[in-house]
Structure 1
Amino acid sequence: MARLLIVGGFLAAVFWVFSIVDCAVQPATRHRGVRKPVWLAIVILIPVIGGILWFVIGRRRANDQGVTRTLAPDDDPAFLRSISKTEQDARIRRLEEELARLDDETDEGPSPEPRA
């Protein structure tokens, strides 16, 4: 039982320190609710519960800020639906020709066979 308390206390201390560091290094734009110094005070003064509150309520996720992942046109379903099948085929044909041309430019031809 004593070991369990020691391990639990150690884990709580690690979580508390991690919460303080995470709260301190986040830019001010990633804090929700109150300002950064107030969140730091909450996390420091209320050790485990403050850290839980920080991660649940206070820490703004990247996707909460309107940050969207940009897709390449070939990966964007809306773009692919907007072009016709013939346009897709023509685009693929152009890309294949360009790849073949680039491949030919980088090839130096067959290597000569070593002479004995």
Structure 2
Amino acid sequence: MLRALLYILPLALTIYAFIDCLNTPEEETKHLPKVVWVIIILLFWIVGPIVWFFAGKVRRPASARHGAGGWVAPDDNPEFLKSLKDESAQAKDDESTLKDWEADLRRREEELKRRERGEDTEG
């Protein structure tokens, strides 16, 4: 089992580095052209992927990657938090409107019952 792990982990690392290298735009590769990085990753299948991750790609901080227009966690997104407040205010407005409608319905039902009782006694 341990022998299999000694082959599977470097292979998985190599595959991941290979795919990462292929998906990286040419302008984000450092020191060497992208084609050379692919050859290094595939030829030196333990050292190549490690060197790629540390020296082959421009690393940007998370704030730069997900800055303007990018994905932001909901609890860090002021627009999302504002929309929750707006929804909460809308729900309160809807609730007050519903209470007004229920009160109006009760008033109309009572008025209708009074009319029916009045018509029954008159008739």
Could you state the TM-score of these two structures normalised by the residue count of structure 1? 0.56
The alpha-carbon deviation at position 29 of structure 1 amounts to: 2.2
What 5-or-longer segments of structure 2 have no aligned partner?
69-75, 77-85, 110-123
What CA RMSD, in Å, does the superposition of the two structures yield over aligned residues?
A: 3.6
The answer to whether the aligner puts 1:112 opposite 2:89 as a matched pair is: no
For residues 5-62 of structure 1, give each alpha carbon's deviation from its aligned partner in whole angstroms, at most 9, with x where no partner exists: 2211111111111111111111112211111111111111111100000001012113
Q: Which residue of the partner structure matches residue 11 of structure 2?
A: 13
Query: What pairs with 1:4-83 in structure 2 (closer than 5 Å)?
Result: 4-63=2-61, 69=67
The alpha-carbon deviation at position 106 of structure 1 amounts to: 5.2
Tell me the percent identity: 21
Find the aligned partners of 2:27 and 2:98 in 1 and give their Cα distance: 56
Q: Which residue of the partner structure matches residue 89 of structure 1?
A: none
What 5-or-longer segments of structure 1 have no aligned partner?
76-98
Question: What amino acid does structure 2 have at the position aligned with 1:27?
Answer: P
Alignment length (residue pairs): 86
Question: What amino acid does structure 2 have at the position aligned with 1:10?
Answer: I
Find the aligned partners of 2:49 and 2:40 in 1 and give their Cα distance: 8
For residues 65-112 of structure 1, give each alpha carbon's deviation from its aligned partner in whole angstroms, at most 9, with x where no partner exists: x66835xxxx9xxxxxxxxxxxxxxxxxxxxxxx6xx64765634151
Which structure shows the higher helix fraction?
Answer: 2
Instruction: Work out which of the two has the higher radius of gyration on C-alpha atoms and give 1 or 2.
Output: 2
